[in-house]
Amino acid sequence: MKKKKLRILIAYNDPADAGANDLDYISEVAVKNEADIVYDTLIKMGHSPALMAVSGIEENIAEINDFSPDMLFNLCEGFHGQSKHEMHIAALWEILGIPYSGNKPITLGISQNKVLAKNIFTANGIPTPEFEVFDKVPEKTHLPFPLIVKPSNEDASLGISQNSLATDMESLRMIATALLEKYKEPVLVEKFIEGREFNVSIIGGKPAKALEISEIDFTALDGDTPKITGYESKWLEDHPLYRKTPSVCPAKTGTGLKKKLVSTALKVYEVLMGKDYGRVDFRVDSKENVFVLEFNPNPDISADAGFSKSLRASGLSYEQFLKKIIKDNTGY
């Protein structure tokens, strides 16, 4: 008889490591909120969960050995404030041989490397905005303005704001200079797709399933404000842009557009070898051409986040979501 009560360790990156004087810290703190809701839900489901802030590898391995988990719920988005280590933390669970939730190291690494991911999209016939990459301040570009400028290896919309839209060479150079200085990595310069913005959340399985589509509602923005979902819109709850860019789920789409969004999202998930869950972000132009911006392999799954909205709109409870992940990773 299969056991029903599992020991599940919930691992998350310690927000205290991120650097509280930087606004980028806000998204790190949100990870603890995710961990708390997973913990509370697992308790209600009758399991034996525990929380583990990942901060010191030796100490964390000792915690794992002491707790002896049947499974680890991985919510780590980096290590010591460095998002580039997201894949390395998942690799640690693999080395330790612990069943864990979420995407594998290779998927986490490819997805965070936006340039590599876009090249993979292009090679597989997945539409993505035209782009260039610069490791120093650009002198020229072959792309038509307006352009959106972002760090090439960050997640959670770090480095993306209303000031990320370049309308001429002077503004492109200015934005690129600031990003190069702050993030110490190449900048990705993308053709800005005027139009609507959608995201499609996916639950893994054989086959994977797309949840109800979400759209970012830009209608409250005035005509001079760029229709961009930046860091302020996602994380700064007191910011006007947060309140003026709500997500709407299910999104209002015609049958044709919905089919294109879903089929493209599932193809992205397959090509990047997705596991358990993820989210694909899109821009859609006036002719309903879809363009993949990125695959988020570790989306926010807190109670009020877009992923949870998509779950509810698809008729799935949070408990059902966790139950599926647990069964897929442990067989129970």
The domain that holds 147 is classified in CATH as 3.30.1490.20
Domain boundary among the residues 143, 167, 191 is at: 191
Pair 261, 322 in one domain: yes
Does a structural domain hold residue 76?
yes
Model pTM? 0.92
Q: Quick one: pLDDT at residue 18? A: 58
Q: What is the pLDDT of residues 288-319, one digit of tens each?
A: 999 999 999 999 998 888 999 999 999 999 99
Q: Are 64 and 98 in contact (CB under 8 A)?
A: yes
Each residue's pLDDT tens digit, 128-165: 999 999 999 999 999 999 999 999 988 767 878 888 99
d(CA 103, CA 110): 11
Query: In the structure, what pLDDT confidence band is assigned to residue 82 with cuts at 50, 70 and 90?
Result: confident
Residue 271 Cα distances to 119, 147, 283, angstroms? 12, 27, 19
Residues 172 and 80 grouped into a single domain? no
Note whether residue 2 is domain-resident: no
Distance (Å, whole) CA 236 – CA 5: 38
Number of domains in the chain: 3
Dist. CA 328–CA 176, nearest whole Å: 43
Q: Are residues 240 and 119 in the same domain?
A: yes
Question: Is the Cβ–Cβ distance between 180 and 210 less than 8 Å?
Answer: no
Q: Which residues span the domain enclosing 181?
A: 131-191
Whether 1 maps to a domain, the answer reads: no
Domain for residue 96, yes or no? Answer: yes
